[in-house]
Chain A
Amino acid sequence: MSIRTPIARARNHGSAKTGVHHWWMQRVTAIALVPLVIWFVVSLLSLVGAPHEAFTAWVANPLVAALLIALIVAAFYHGAIGMQVVWEDYIHGHLTRIVVDLVTKGVLTLLGLLAVISILRLAL
């Protein structure tokens, strides 16, 4: 979707790069995370002290696995672009900032993939 003003579009002005995409995705993932986090916390409470079989049986439910993966993807994406803003604010060296940002995103991507693969392994 475009949230540029009609006059900006008509004049063909606006961002030369990605514009408000970062800001917008931060909000989209935030909105998705509100119900997902509430569901996750309530579920965790029902799993306190659960043995391994009970936990794997819970993840094996397709709806649970789908919601868990949605939570992981939204949370890790939200965290990665959130940390990007923190680095942009506090790291003033251009190269250092890009390196730290890419390392953060790389680590969060790998952790997210590990989490998703673990969920799929229990669910499939």
Chain B
Amino acid sequence: MASDAQSAGSDGGQKPGTRAARPLSPHLQIWRVQITSFTSIMHRFTGMALAAGTLLLTYWLVAAAIGPEAYSAANGFIGSVIGVILLIGWAWSLFYHLINGIRHLVWDAGYGFELDTAAITGWIAIIGATVLTLIVFIIAWAL
């Protein structure tokens, strides 16, 4: 059985290290951008942005642990132009990844695959993330 699995895994019948010239399915640049493909790409992109954003989150917590001066220096950076731009990007990524992540969990449970539903929930993720980001920053500025 093990040898069956191995030959199915490689290009069965080919010499090791060579590949049969089989047709390839069209790649990203061939397809028109659709809401489902766009939301999928954005899920990965925002996930990567959030992984990078852990640097900022850790810096902020470490600064708070070091003391008042380091904490106000961190808050000073977060309040700077670059800091606010990073924070807006981080907030949008977080909200988008949160809403679209829930969309993925619903798919994992077996629901929401109808094309209309998938399109609607995709727009909910994009618009929802934008609205939540706006609300959070309006509240933050009002405080």
Contact = CB atoms under 8 A, between A and B. Distances in A.
A79 B61 contact: no
Nearest to A40: B94
Band of interface residues on A: 35 or more
B68 A115 contact: no
Interface of A: 27, 30-31, 33-34, 37-38, 41, 45, 48-49, 51-53, 55-56, 59, 75-76, 79-80, 82-83, 86, 104, 108, 111-112, 114-115, 117-119, 121-122
A52 B71 contact: yes
Given A37-B94, A49-B143, A55-B64, A75 B54 contact: yes
Contacts of B108: 27
Given A52-B67, A56-B64, A122-B64, A111 B136 contact: no
Interface of B: 44, 47-48, 50-51, 54-55, 57-58, 61-62, 64-65, 67-68, 71-72, 94, 98, 101-102, 104-105, 108, 136, 139-140, 143
Most chain B CB atoms below 10 A, which of A49, A82, A108: A82
In the A-B complex, the 8 residue pairs with the smallest Cβ-Cβ separation, listed nearest first, are: A118-B65, A52-B68, A79-B51, A118-B61, A111-B58, A121-B65, A52-B71, A115-B58
Contacts of A80: 51
B58 A114 contact: yes
